[in-house]
Structure formats: C-alpha cells, structure tokens
Structure 1
Amino acid sequence: MRKILPFILSVVFFSWAVSVYAQNAWINEFHYDDASTDENEFIEVVIENAGSYNLADFTVTLYNGNGGGSYKSTTLDLFTVGNTEGNFTFYYYNYTQNGSSIQNGSPDGFALDYQGTVISGQFLSYEGTFTATDGPANGLTSDDVGVSESGVPEGQSLQLSGSGGFYSDFTWQDPATNTMGALNNGQTLGTVTNTVVKFASSSGSVGEGDGTYNLAISIVNPDANNATSVDVVLISGDPADVGNYTTQTVTFPAGSSDDQILVINITDDSQIEGDEVVTFELQNVSGGNNASIGSPSQFDLTILDNDFASTPDIVINEIMQNPNAVGDDVGEWYELYNAGDTDVDINGWIMKDNDTDVDTIQNGGPLIISAGGYLVLGINDTTSVNGGVNVDYVYKNFLLSNSSDEIVLLLSDGVSEVDRVEWDNGATFPDPTGKSMELINPGYDNNDGTNWQEATATYGDGDMGTPGALNSTYVSGIKENPGGTVSEFRLHPNFPNPFNPSTTLTFDVPGTKERIDLIVYDLLGKKVKTLFSGKLNRGRFQQKWDGRNEAGLEMPSGVYFAVLKSNTYRKAVKMMLLR
C-alpha cells in the first residue's frame, strides 16, 4: 500500500550570487572531427558588450563523456578576437594549432563559465549526454546539441543559425562551411526583447526517500513592468509518485531574472518497481514581453527506487571467459556459489551485462543451488565439445568478452540485483587464456579485481579451472591458531583495544560444520565489513581488522562491535578505534 506523504508544493525564489544572465555569452560554433586527420578543431564564443568584462573571467572547459572528467580549460583572453556585429564580438580558439585537440565524441562536450559558474545552457555535448564529475560543470548533465560530425570534410563545422540576441534564439545545424570568427551561415545577431521561459535543465534525478525535488524554471529577458506566468504540467508518469501532482502555475515578478523553484513532493512507497521517470512540460505562458516557451520545455525526473527484494547470498565465484582447449563459442562458462544456509532456486532469474546481452534462466522447473554448493552455467553442455566441463544450465544470448565485460545477476523481478562482477581487461582482474578467473574466497568482494586469481587446477581437455568445486586458489582469509583446546564457540576480546590502526580477533570453532560469520558493525548497527563468511574445521582462529570498511575506506574514531554468529551462537565484543 502506498504511503502518500502530505502534499506540499510551493514556489520559492532562488537568487544566484552572480546572475549568469548578466553575461550574455554562448558557444556559437565548433569543429571536432574530420574525415581524415583532424585539423583546425576550434570553438567559437560570442559575447555581448565584451568590453564590459575581463576576458580571463570566461573559461571554456573540455569534458570527456567517458567518466565525465574535464581534460582542458582555456580562458577567453587566450582566444583570437574575430569580427564584431553590433554589440556582439566573436572569439575563437584553434586547439589543433595550439598543440591539442577536441575529442571525437560518443559522447564528449564542453562548458562555458563565468568566474567558475557555468552560464545557463552552456554545458553542451555532442553524440549523447553525460554528467560532469569535476570542474565548473561538476554534477550537471549536459545538453546534447542534437547534431554531430562523423568524418566531415575539412573546413566544415557545427554552428548555430537563426535570428536573435540570446543562445535560446538559435538552433544547431548540420555540418556546413565554417565561419570561424564571424557570423554563421544563416545567422543574424541583434538584441531580442521577447521574454522566454524554460526549464533550467532537461533532466534530473532524486531518491524515492529524499522527500522533495527542487525543479528550477528560468526566464530570459524579463519585462521590467509585467510579470510572467507559466503552467508546469505533468504529461507522463504516475501523479501518485510525485505527491498526487496537479498542474501548478509559476509566476516571475516583473523585472526578475531569478529562477523560480517548484518544490515537488516525492512519494516514498514500499513497492519494488525499479526507477521511474515522470515528465513535466511548460504550457500556457503569459505576460512578460510577448513571452514564449523556450528549450528545454520538458523536464524528465528520474525517481530512484529505494525498495529492494531480499536477495539470497549467491556469489559469482569463477569465470571462464577465454578457454584455450576449445573455442569461446562452446567453452565459455561461469560458476555460482551458494554462500547461504538454505537451498536457492534460480529458475526465472535474469543474467545480463551492461550492454545488450540478456538471458532469462528457463530450466523448465526448479534449478537449485544447495546451501554451500556450486552451479555451473555455460554456453554448451556437451562435454566432448565444450572442453570437458559439466554444465548445469545452458544459457543463450550471452557472451563473456575476453577483454572487459560484466555478469549481472537479477531476481525474476528484473530489478533486484543479486550479484555483479565487472572485469577490466587485466587492469585489476586477471586476464588469462585457457584458465578461469577464480574468486579466492566467496566472502570477499568479487567486484575487486585483486580478490581474483588465475586457476591452477586442470579439468577436462586441459584448460585450468574448478567448475562446480572449491576454487584452486581458495584462501580462508583467517589465520589458524592451534593453541588451546576447543569444545565450544567462543569469541575472545580483541587485542589491542583501544587500537590504531588494526586489531586482532580470536575465536574458537568446535567443528560443528556450521556456517560462521564474523562481521564488524558500527554503534548504530550498520554493517561496516564482513571479515569472514564460510565453514571452518574445528580449531582456534585469528582475524585482523584494519579499521576499514568494505570499500577500503578508513573508518573514523569510535565504538565498533565485532559479531561472531552461527545458527547456534552469537557473541559480540566491543572495540574502540582511536585515530
């Protein structure tokens, strides 16, 4: 049943310390890709009343769409001055002539900022969109110009055309003869007095449990005497996901260029539904000076689901992505391990990667992985063909790349993720031929390449791996301490305590063959790190904790609890970390 939060929707004013609309400047033309050797790659910027500014306060920053990082920043005082048309001056910078280049996209982009603040609408990209991770555009999502260069003849560029005096007055055109430093083809510059209302960006995201989202609406060229109003209409998505949303009217006071912020209530429900997208549109603008709706006129809000099904402790434990004894088309496989204490049926689960490979497990009945057991999924189950591996389930439409690839395992709801491994062409993971990649301990983070090693045991026709069995590179992760007589479970006090940077935990296992978990929690009961998970023979063991969490980050000073638990035993010891 939905838990509808009280519907709160209001409009608040938001003033920037430096109004980006005070600087009427935009990226007007650029060239990034030739049919042969890239030449004369450039960016052109137009500034109104350029003499009123210090050009060094404007910066063009180039961004790599693969990761969202910046890779070059150039201030406009280093640009070449072009023509002047009325109050507008052109500036351009030829990157190739200055010993650098603009990346070829899919996607990439650039931002124009003034004193470190990106000018509205001036985080642009080509061949797709992305979110910046540093620099002046950090956290912003780019606007795709919608046209691209794919090996165009030398001397062409992408450029704005149309008539007006603001960026929103123009549209990007397909490649045409470049006009570096001058008016573009089909472009007329002049002061435009019409009021334009638009969303500040075209998309955003919010967590389902975040409560509210601030939706920003911008105005260009407000009228000094007349207010401007516009309706914000939900045109796609379930109104119940946004607090039973109904159309709201936003009003800009006369003369105000400040963004208006529509505070939208986000409904937190308990349904497992995946991420959802709702779309708002600006309609029925009125007032201002012949006001119109500009671009973007629609805004997509992604609501990130915070409800997940309880997932079994199934681990992707071994991967043969590059067999040598047989071809990849018959010899690829991977192994799952059930680290839980109950049997698990994986029939109906989904395996996929981050691209287009996807397969739903359809076994025609239960496909059980017993507690503490293994199950092998492969591309072929004929041992005389596949290199001699016993495959429990044959998948389709799924390939394991020899370079970088992923295995993502989902429950049958298609949303709840059970496990994921993303290997990286040898950067941190092994990169073997004729050997599987083995996780050295099922309790370790299997998305950390340092926890994987190449198999050392031979199977079938001569490749190395341990399909359906304990990995040949397995390590317990703990140190056995043979001292003392063990007759019952016991967790001893850690030593030293208090400690910095590490402490050692000693515990006894009486040999009952029960599953053992040794886990560190913080004072609020939140899990910090699993130190060990598995079965041990009878004995006394020691495990060190280095004061770090699962991500390898140092934990702050404070009280922590180490908990040793099995089906029949649970004990905690208090530890004090002092940094």
Structure 2
Amino acid sequence: MGLIINLSAELLWQEPIPIRQGVNIEWFRSGTQTADGCAIYVWSDTKLGERDLWAQKVDAQGNAVWGEPLLIDGKPDRQEDPVITMTSDNNFVIAWIDFSDDLDGNVYAQKINAQGQLLWQTGGVPVCTYPNVQISLNMESDNEGGVYIIWVDSRNPGKDLYGQHLNSSGAPLWQVNGIPIANDIGDEVQNTMLPDGQGGFIIAYTYSFGGLEDIFAKRFLSNGTMAWQQPTIISNAPGNQGKVRMATLTNGEFVFVWEDQRNEDPDIYAQKIDLNGNILWRDPFIVFGDSGTANFAPQLNPRIVATSDNAVIIVWEDKRLDNYATDLFVQKINAAGDLLWDVDGVPLCVAEFAQNEARLTPDSNGGCYIVWDDLRNGDTPNDDIYGQHLSATGTALWEANGRPICNAPNQQNSALVKVSNNMVFINWMDMRNGSVGLYYQVYNSAGVAQLPENGELVFWGLSGDTPLNNYLILPRSQDVVIIWQDTRFANMGYQIFFQFLNSDGSIDLEPNGRPVTLSTGANQSNPAAAVLSDDSIVLAWVDARDENPNIYLQHLDANGNRLWGDYGIPLTESIPIEQKNPRVSYKADQNQVYISWSNYESHSGNLRFYVYGQMIQNEQKQWGPDGIKISYYPEEEFLYHECSQNELKENYFTWQDANLIEFTQSIFTKKVDANGQTAQGWPESGLQVSTYPITNWDCRQRFPVSTLTDEGIFVMWKDARGDDIENYYGQHISSNGERLWDPLGVNLADYGREQLNVSIAENPLYRNEIVFAWTENIAGMGDILTQKYSLTGIPQWGDLGNYVVQKDSMQTSPYLARFDNGGMVIAWTDYYNTITEESNINYKYIKSDGTFVCDNPGGYVLCDAKKNQYNPMIAIVGNEAFAIWADGISSGKTEILGLYAQKLSNEIVALDDPTTPSISQFKLIQNYPNPFNPSTNIKFTINDITNPYTLNIYNLKGQLVKTLVKGNLEKGTHNILWDGTDSKGETVSSGIYLYSLSNGKSNQIKRMVLMK
C-alpha cells in the first residue's frame, strides 16, 4: 500500500481574538431627567463587537449611579438611534431601531426603572417588525405608564408616519405593527409630538409632495382614533415650510414654530392651536423675518420651549450679521401672541464663527437654559459647548455671549440640557482624547458648576477603525507582531499601532495596541516592517508631520519599547517633495535591514519618482544620510521615466517603470551589495525582467511581487500583452542577474481572463520551488486558483493549476502560506451571499502535490460573523498559522473595520498506511531559553524506537549547520545542548535558526533565535 499523507486542521481558539476592536459610541442626544434629581443618558456602542444599546444614570455629584453602564439590548447585529422618555409611573421607556431580525430595521422598546432594572422582556418588545425600513423615532408618554411611539415607515410607496401605543407592561394597544399616523401620497418624515393632556397626543409633521413642503397637525386619542375629522393646516403657503417644533401651554393650547420659505429666504414663523385644532393666532404669525429688506438673510432651525409663566421662548440660527456663520437669536411670545422681547429678537450669542444646534429647557421662573455648539475658539475642529441662562425678561444671567460649558481640546458637540430637582444637567459628545466620549456638567440654580471644569466622564471608548490594506502580520520566534494604521484619533492624525499575539491567544501589550510613536498631530500610513533575529522590529511608514509626506522609521525592541525615540526618526536628512511606498526587508545572515521607497526628485525643474534604498546595520545608516538611488537612468533620460517601488526581498529591489514617451510600463529588478553598489552581473539601471519591447502599445506590466529562491529571485507581475487582458507572467532571475526562464517571461496560467490578487507562499525551507495563488475573473465572478512551478520554469500542477474554490459568487484576496512541515494553508474573502453581498473568510489546506484537504468544496469557515470580513493575512510560526483579517462586525450606518485573529493547527498524519509513523511517535519541543546566547537546550520525546533519528540545525537558507543527533534512541525524553557552533566548531552569527527532528518518514521543525 502506498504512502498517503494528509493534513488535519482545526481552529484553535474558540472565538476570534479582537486585536483592534473599537467602541465607536453613537450619541443620539437621548437623555432625560429623573424624579430623584439625576439624569439618564442612552447611547449605542460596539465594545462587545456588534452595536448594542446602553444607558447610565448620573447624579449631580459626578457619580455613575448604576456603576457599569446598563445593557439595554445586546441582540445580534445592531441596535441604534435610541429615544427615551420618562413615563407617568416614574419609570423610563427606551425605543430604538433594531436590525437583529431585519436588515432594513425594526422598532423595539424596553422599560427600565430608576434602579437600572429591565422591566420588559430581554431583548425588548417588538413595536413594529413589518418588512421594509422603519427609522426616525419619536416618543411621548401617556397618562398610565405607557408610551406613544412614532416612526417613519417605508411599507407603502413613499415615506409615511406610523405609530403604536404600548401600555405600562409593553403590550401593544393598537394594531400589530402600528397604525398610519400620516400616509398621504407624498412623504411625511419630519415631525414633532407632545401629550395632549387628555391621555392622547398631538403631532405636527412636514408633508412633502411635488417638491413643496407644508405643515399639518393631527390629534390622536388613546385608542388610536383621530380626534379631528381632518388634519389642521398649520401652514401651506407658497414655498417650503418645514423643521416644525412645538410646545404646550396651559388650557390645552399648543404653539408651533417652523422655518418658512414663502419669501426670498427662510424666516421664522409660528402658530397656536387648541385641542380642537382651531387656529388661534393671526395668520401669518412672523416671529422674525427680514425678507424684503435690503439686507435680508436666512433664519434657520428654530427650537421652542414652554416657560413656567405660560409663554414660549424660541431660539433660532441667524445669518443677519454674518453670511457664512450663524449666530443665535431668541424671542419670547405670550399666550396672546405678543412678542415680549425686542421685535428683532434678542442676540443670544454673536461670537466669532458659528453658533448652532441649540437645545433649551425651561427654568422655574419664566426663563430658560440654552446650550449650543460654538466654534468661536478657532472654527472646526475646535467645536465647544456653550450655554446661557435667560431670565423671564430676556436678560442673560450668565456671561455675555454664553458661558463655556466645555472648551477642552478638539471637538465637543451635540449638547443636551435637562433640569432635575433644580439642578441643570448638560451633557455632550466629546472628542478631547481623539475618540468619542460622553461627558456632563451640572449647575445649581445659582449657576455654580458642581463638577470639575470641562465636565465629568459618563463613558468613553475608541472610535475609528483599521483601514483596509494598511495592516500586516509578521512571525517572530514564539509569537507574531501585528501592525496597522489606526483612525482612533482621527482629529489628531491617524497613527500606526502594533500588538504582540501569543500562541495561547493572549496579547502582550495594551488592549487595542500601542502606537509606534507618540502623536505628532499628523497622519501616518502605509506601514512596512521586518522582524530581526532578536525579535525586534524595524518599521517604516509615510508620515505627514512635515511640509510634505515623508518616510519615518522606528525600531521596537522585542518587548515593544521604542528605540529610536518617541517620535521615530526621518528616513532621510533632506526633505524632498514627497516620499512613498516604503518597504523593509531583513537579511538575517548579515544582520542587515534594507529599506526602499519612491522618492520625488527634481531635475531642472522637472519632477519624477525614482526608487531609492538604504541599508541599516548595527543601528547605523550605511548608505549615507539620504540613501542611494536604485533605479538609475542617465541625465538625458530622466524625463522619460518614472519609477515606483513595489517589492523588496533582502537586497533585491523590484519596481515598476513607466516610460513616459511610449506610455508603456515594465518591471525591473536589481540586486545591490552591502556597499550600495550594483551587484556583480546586474545592469546599473536594473534588469528588465521581460524583454517584451517597451515600444509595443500593449507593454503594460504592473504590480510585481517576488520571492527569494535557492538560485536568486522569482518575480511575477500582471501583463496585458496580446489582448489587453492582464494575466500573470513570471521570471526567475539568478543571483548574478541572469534571466533563467524565457527572456520574454512565462505566462503562468493562461486562461485568457483577467487575473488579480496574487499571493506567493514564502518559507525559507522551501526555496527550491515556487507556489502561488490568485483570483481568476470569470464573467465578473472571482474564483481562486493555485499553481506550483519548479525553479526551471515547469508547471507542477498541470498547465493551468488547480481551483481552490469555484462557485457562482465572488471569491477574492487569497493569502497563501506554507508551514515548516511543507503543508500549506490558503485563506480568502468569500462573498457567499449574493443578496446581502456580505463576505466571510474561508480557508483550505493544500498538500505539496497540490491536492486539498477539505470535505467542503467551498472551504472551511475561518470567520462567518455578521457583516463583512475582508482580506486575510497569515503568518506561520512553526506548524501553526496565525490569521488576521479586517472585520466589519461593528458596521452600521457606515462600515467600521476592526482587526481580528484566529489560529490554525496543522499536522501531517498518515491515513491508510499502518507502517507510516504518525506525529505522535515523537514530539519536538520548543528550545529553552529562546532567544539564547550562547547555548540552548533542545528537548524532544521519543515514543517509537523502530527507526533511527536525526536532529539537525539549519540556517534560514536551508543549509545544514550542524547535526546534533544521528542514530537510534531510547524511548523517553531527551535533552540536547546546542552551544551555537557549526560542524567545524566555529561560533555561528546571530540570527534565526531551524532545528529539525526526523525519523526518516516524517519530521518536525521549530525555530530558535541566537541573539548576541
């Protein structure tokens, strides 16, 4: 019976590990006062992965009354856009839009008491689960502990208003999924509602049809019937009327205010009605309007509140003093419709730049408190929160132009104000630390702040995400390092972060990573890195801190400490117009770090990108302060070329050259020696990897990738020759610069279709062959294929390779990695669902003969969480694979990408030959200490003594350094000392070494690091 070797595999962690998972608070200005002198605030966040709903109760002394925030709802997918109201039984109802059972969103609600206990069923009660979109909630209490909930509903053509009445127990009192509140042939969206004082409610709404907007009002009784035969027309004048708001006076009277465009520009209008829908004030009633005057300007976004002396105060945004930035004006109107303050309104705040987004609440003396977003301290992004206390006569009781409630650094906005037991609670969204938090301040009736300056924290967490194609994972001796661009401090600049991930799934650094530098206030992007023999890391990235984007460097020791300062060091002393495309590679046998980049340089006033390089050894730049030019052309040809760095493997530089005369593109590779000179046998300008004529119109060679081989370097690229369809071509180049394959290059898998997303399996133990994977575009759908080539250019898996996955949906972005035992794993993005277009990460195992180990043709699932997972990357440590991917589990209104990880095992197992030794016949254990100097212990266990064993040491080139054991061994545990010398007894250099235990039938390999 022939020997059959297979691969067995499994996910080793029960759940994916969040490497970077944000909290991403969404503040919907949802808060209320309580009967016991506190306030409750409600928000949604993603600290548990998906978006959930939370609440916290705070008191006037700055205490979080409930300790940790209260989870209102944590069902799958997302819950967001909450509203809250206090009910007549002194409890609180929270309603929200819920996507757990409908991608379009449904309406749910929950009731809580003042002690933070959920009073209705876990997950909330369904208010509306009708198909199609439900959004934009509004809610008010009834007289019996229940609530009325209104929403915008798309079940009919257009957008309508629907509503539901829940009793104190959460049971629906109206028709299941709600009744129509306003569902004419046009759209009804923006609305305002308040209790009518009789157990029902009054609602006013904007009706839009044919491009025009008018305002109507209705009254509903508690049983869901309309109290009036017809809606009351609040305003149907020419032009648009919208943004209506309302306030309740005594004796069953209600005042509405809106933005009215019947004239040249928006003005502020108002009207009052009674419980029967009768219009009570003159029509039209102008609060303020300057249309028709010489200096007319817009008045916008009115807000209204009823005062304790049965009047209303209205605040609006006004451009009469500044055409570009709004100021705030106010007016008070009594029940008779008299303007009580200056007929032009009272200037509430006319500070520099804009004041907007005002909110107000009454005091107990006929005045009110008003808060707003204020840009006086330098315009956006220096938004602050200001406030004012107005007396019943319009006098400012706090500082003129408003008091700074919070003027901490960065942005504060979306303030809310409530009065609870004569204490004024003001809270807002705050980005003082770069990410969103919720803060609040409390004032007593005398205007004295009760909390520290700039407020007390309610809750804070990371915002932002991990942008696609800006992360990487690299193996170290015992773990992996993950590096990414992070937008958590977007208003202070994106930064590069990193994390160490251990084999047991634990992390070594701060949760969500550590920055490679302190904040510079500018963006960092495009990280590149290499791990050195001592497990330290050298990084390069594009940094915008200077006048032009340039590349900076950092060296992190094995524990993550910054060795090149808290802000990194510039790659070059000179500051060119631009540097981009950094690459970093490590030549372990010489302890050399190579760096390449594209440098924008000027000759006679003409600017072009060329490829530059630098080599660092022993912490010192070896090629001068500014590096050397790699892509060299004579002066007379400078204008005709532009070179973009693409690949760097040790001291082999590969780039894309654009010929600006022929409008063609070609690929060049060049080897450089340790002195910065062109290596022997290589052209000074680099070797064109394909001799396909650059004068041919279809010479379009792009996006090269490369890997080292035992003989030199293999380069592959996208090539459009012949039919303008880009296929992958390849070339094998010897270490002395000779093309080893067809000088034109080899078409690696000619299906006559577009190919993209190539990934090459790299492992220094297997540089005697070339294995790669790619996406094949088949009628707009992508399938994944793999192929193996010998170093002589012969395809090993048929002429066209093997399909990894082939189905009627998109599969893309494969990543192929090779274990030390020769097996391979491939992961890819799989758009399994053509309806939602959500994607998973799938994977398969590949044997060295190209066959697969997977009982599912579509692959195993690495991650199938809700939303999208993208672009896996894999790092191999011995025979374990660490995979990372961008995960959209927190996405909602916008896509938010976290970074997650999972680990895969891989063991070579004999399936059908009883004479084949299984991996359990012996076990190789990790050496200790590791890293080591000068010696280390290598331990292994022998269970089967049938065959002789060999324990060898190899360098990363696969060359034998020393044989430590050869022959038959006794059963049991063995401990062998390696003193760091080779077979001649000479001390070897620092670097990564491999030790392999074999019984002639199978072998196990591990890595170790000699660090001097």
Question: Smaller-chain TM-score range?
Answer: under 0.3
**TM-score, normalisation: structure 2:** 0.16
Larger Rg: 2
**TM-score, normalisation: structure 1:** 0.25
Instruction: Judging by fraction of residues, say which structure has more strand.
Output: 2
